[in-house]
């Protein structure tokens, strides 16, 4: 059923990430008609974007089409479009697709549009750095890395890399660039990882953070904690080191920005429509049952929300998506409080090195954590075919020294210093 003016759906889901897909799948067999609206045609496995960027996996391995994944869910229709307005009282949503506006009436609305990159008030950095939030971000960085490694040996800026933010993404990017240089390209490179807090992977803390730092340094990554990037211009990154003890200037063609997130633009649309408060990052301060503001039939989940300090991770979004659907379909009572079941966190550093934290007392590191990381990510990767391709690619990358994702780079552009020019 193609949408047209005044079409009604029992449930409208906005966003095709982990939360949106989990909600759509939860609706299977429950009788409700549903429409999923996404600004992109694919479901993106965002935690593996850095693997595409560093050539470990191909683009399609982590970004299958959403309508393909939901092809057996006959009650769910998928459209590509951008939601432009929500009128909460008559429960009408407007989205733009195919060059025109469409209006949809809904019984319940689930917003799951995720987060965008935050530059802490320095929005000009967006044009001077590489982010890793979309599949296009990953393929742009991959082509750039290919060009950097193809640059002349005496081009120091081309093989100098700065990664900002030592959370999971920053650590994984820095570790994989080091491994790419050492095992695949056999090039000498300089990699600097900059983190404002005092620990690498601060969410893990303690021994796991210390292990991660040592593993990165053993891989050849310079780690600067308690340090802040104060300027990026004219091909130079300025770093305030050790809380102002020194200043470093690093000439580079490549800055990967993985520090900070802000809510998607749709969070602002919902805040205005429902009167919901937001935090400083623009995230919706949702109610305990995931409803937004004072509106009982609008739910928001995942990275676009803030609730009891839950982390911005895919398991949170998926559990929230299922919880919202269970309330909508009366498998749970209206107003049921959402409680996150924390199954732990993992982060890979390099081949054979990873950290895992299941509880405060149950942690492990090294090869065991690396194998567990592979298994967990294979389990959650959408599509049997994609899992099989990932296994083959990881064997080639981690057992051998190939980087199959680079086969997709037809013509890599030369590094563009203008990208980080002021």
Tokens of 344: 């732990």
Task: Give CA angle at 47 (228, 205), nearest 5°.
Answer: 50
Average the pLDDT over 57-74 and give the result.
92
Count of all residues that appear for the chain in the document:
422
- Per the listing, tokens 């490694």 go with 149
Nearest to 116 by CA among 230, 268, 2: 268
Average the pLDDT over 29-47 and give the result.
94
Domains of the chain: residue spans and CATH: 7-39+81-116+261-328 (3.50.50.60), 120-259+405-420 (3.50.50.100)
Indicate the burial class of 32 (C-beta count within 10 angstroms; 0-12, 13-18, 19 or more): middle
The whole-number pLDDT of residue 4 equals 47
Catalytic residues: 172
Average the pLDDT over 63-84 and give the result.
95
350 CB-near residues (< 8 Å, 6+ apart): 175, 176, 178, 179, 215, 219
Q: How confident is the model at residue 244 (pLDDT cuts 50, 70, 90)?
A: confident
pLDDT digits (tens, 9 = 90+) for 275-320: 999 999 999 999 999 999 999 999 999 999 999 999 989 999 999 9
Average the pLDDT over 55-65 and give the result.
91
Average the pLDDT over 215-221 and give the result.
96
Percentage of the chain lying above the pLDDT 90 cut: 80
Q: What is the mean pLDDT of the chain?
A: 92
The values of phi and psi at residue 348, to 5°, are -95, 145
pLDDT digits (tens, 9 = 90+) for 360-407: 899 999 999 999 999 999 888 877 678 888 888 888 888 888 888 888
Average the pLDDT over 233-246 and give the result.
90
């Amino acid at each position: 059923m193609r949408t047209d003016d005044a079409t009604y759906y029992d449930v409208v889901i906005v966003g095709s990430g982990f939360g949106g897909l989990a909600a759509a799948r939860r609706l299977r067999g429950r009788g409700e008609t549903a429409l999923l609206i996404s600004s992109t045609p694919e479901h993106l496995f965002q935690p593996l974007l850095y693997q595409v960027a560093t050539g470990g996996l191909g683009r399609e391995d982590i970004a299958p089409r959403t309508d393909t994944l939901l092809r057996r869910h006959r009650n769910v229709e998928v459209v590509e479009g951008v939601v432009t307005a929500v009128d909460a009282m008559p429960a009408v949503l407007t989205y733009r697709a195919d060059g025109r506006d469409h209006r949809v009436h809904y019984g319940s609305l689930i917003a799951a549009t995720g987060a965008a990159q935050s530059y802490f008030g320095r929005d000009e950095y967006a044009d001077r750095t590489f982010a890793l939030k979309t599949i296009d971000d990953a393929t742009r960085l991959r082509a750039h890395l290919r060009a950097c490694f193809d640059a002349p040996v005496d081009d120091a800026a081309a093989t100098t890399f700065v990664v900002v933010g030592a959370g999971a993404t920053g650590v994984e990017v820095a570790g994989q660039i080091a491994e790419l240089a050492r095992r695949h390209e056999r090039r000498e490179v300089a990699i600097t990882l900059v983190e404002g807090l005092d620990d690498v992977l601060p969410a893990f803390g303690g021994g796991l953070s210390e292990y991660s730092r040592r593993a990165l340094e053993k891989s050849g990554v310079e780690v600067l904690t308690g340090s802040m990037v104060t300027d990026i211009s004219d091909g130079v990154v300025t770093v305030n080191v050790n809380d102002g003890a020194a200043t470093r200037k690093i000439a580079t063609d490549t800055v990967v920005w993985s520090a900070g997130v802000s809510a998607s633009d749709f969070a602002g649309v919902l805040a205005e429509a429902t009167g919901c408060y937001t935090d400083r990052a623009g995230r919706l301060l949702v109610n305990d049952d995931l409803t937004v503001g004072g509106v009982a039939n609008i739910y928001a989940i995942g990275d676009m929300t803030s609730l009891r300090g839950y982390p911005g991770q895919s398991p949170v979004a998926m559990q929230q998506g299922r919880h919202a659907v269970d309330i909508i379909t009366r498998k749970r009572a209206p107003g049921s409080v959402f409680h996150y079941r924390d199954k732990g966190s993992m982060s890979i550093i390099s081949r054979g090195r990873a950290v895992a934290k299941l509880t405060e007392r149950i942690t492990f590191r090294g090869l065991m954590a690396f194998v567990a990381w592979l298994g967990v990510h294979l389990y959650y990767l959408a599509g049997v075919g994609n899992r099989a391709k990932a296994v083959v690619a990881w064997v080639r990358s981690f057992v051998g020294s190939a980087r199959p994702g680079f086969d997709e780079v037809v013509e890599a552009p030369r590094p563009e210093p203008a990208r980080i020019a002021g």
